[in-house]
Structure 1
């Protein structure tokens, strides 16, 4: 019986990390690192070993030194070929070997054509996977074109993204909306699911579960089918998505993210002073805010399980100056880890900031510490 128990224990899935005793073990200030606005950002790799810093003029890849300031591995100028624009949706691959170039601001705010492109953090070069030969505004009847955007990693070899097929005559004619996949080393994209045969730009947010098996996406208001708007869950390879929340209940999020265990979905929408952050329990459908009282400006999922780290900040309320908080699970009481004025190192909270697998994170400091970043190490 003992042997059988040992075998069962070895074969069972690893237990989720218990975050009840987590606290700040160490902090380090990284000087002269401007982030959190436009093209200025600091992107922590999934394993916490590197940070890609964008300051608008150049890229620098940094690594934590044992003592003192972070060491610069390499830097390169930002050029017309590798310039990122706003980096909110610039995501590291799970292996940390490359990053997806952002598309949200150019495609959904400026209505310019975007392709799925990859950034190499070693050479600082960019490779285009879906170049359709069109690079212009999508207004004023321009087309045809494939507007490829909202890309995420299924795994380090495969990418999923949204494609709007813009017909001749431009976006005013409507566009087919599809979920596509493509290999990171190139090749033709493949249709994974047709979301809509024709319509306006309805999908503004999309994400993939950590195991790469499920996709969540939001559908905005459809004047021809008002009951369709909401957040959907699709198991890749299946034909029918499930609406898990109506738009009337959750709004139209700008960002979505699964918890590491796949049990919850985080929805991030813009608000006047921060982020409208909610979670959906995918088993029960329960929707709860990340914090019912404080002004949330950034949220991160734990690298395992479904704990939440989040930043609150409200310069108009002296009684709630803010800080970095941790909740063991959505809806659970949160504990203050570090008090002070902080902000995510990528503007503006529409995507989760990174809680790396080595239990580190980087957050921007505000007030008289503006222009610096706090490197935080958590543990028990």
Structure 2
């Protein structure tokens, strides 16, 4: 595995920390900037919108650049807006920096996925993907609690400075290790974009992207409302909530590691068995959430299963997107973030309807069930096509 990949993973860790850390900093930000907590919460929404828009858009805009230039541009932009966010005293400026940071994050991750898979053998895309996505899972395990601790000790601005500093090693690694291609990836960005967009219309890719959105929606629906679940239903004290969230993050880190061992060699069994286990796990957790031991075990297990299946779906998108090496990672990133936005919204709607704190778990189970049904329908369609004598690599997910 090339040396630069773990350092790209460090940049993804910094970006994931930036995305999630505001959950522990909002009250401090609201007091400092003299705004309401809901207004501070809009900072999170701005980041989510930027991620969904930025992944495909910036992947397309960067197609005239070499990967090294694109990675440097996105990472420098991400670093600078965090410095600006750390020193500003105006809410509107901070809101703008969150949106721009998300655009840079989305563009960086899209290009980093393409770069990572291009720097490894053709049959190692799953392992390369897991190195980058491992940065996101470590943000849940260590980055978010560390950001909250920094905010408590030295104020919310110190967390923004820390994210900027964490980005520096990756910046140096890109300068040192990513080839400085002089030519852009496409001499005609317009025709290159059109060609890649045509490749992304293949049924198999569309199904894989939908599956990624559904599985990630289920993951973040449950994760977003994990704190009230364990305090109100499980009966664990509020002081233990960071440890429970870290337990989920630790499970996700383990899941990405275990998934990477099978994503390149046996993806179909992993997805089928992992998807079925996810559905069972969300259902059992919803039923047994009142038992602290069962709840804690299942929080870890569901974190592992969610990210094992999710990271494998991302690697399968990259395997299937051979005709779209630049945009495949961008659309995979966008699909994951669509799920990360829709899942919590669905869980919140269930809570607003008065269905109780177990309701988001049932929503996660429903989203997972929809993913399994979609995968089954797509596999059946592929088999019917093959029986008619028109096999195609783009018909359904592996």
TM over 0.5: no
Q: Which has the higher contact order (CA 8 A, sep 6+)?
A: 2
User: Which has the larger helix fraction?
Assistant: 2
The TM-score normalised by the length of structure 2 is 0.23
The TM-score normalised by the length of structure 1 is 0.24
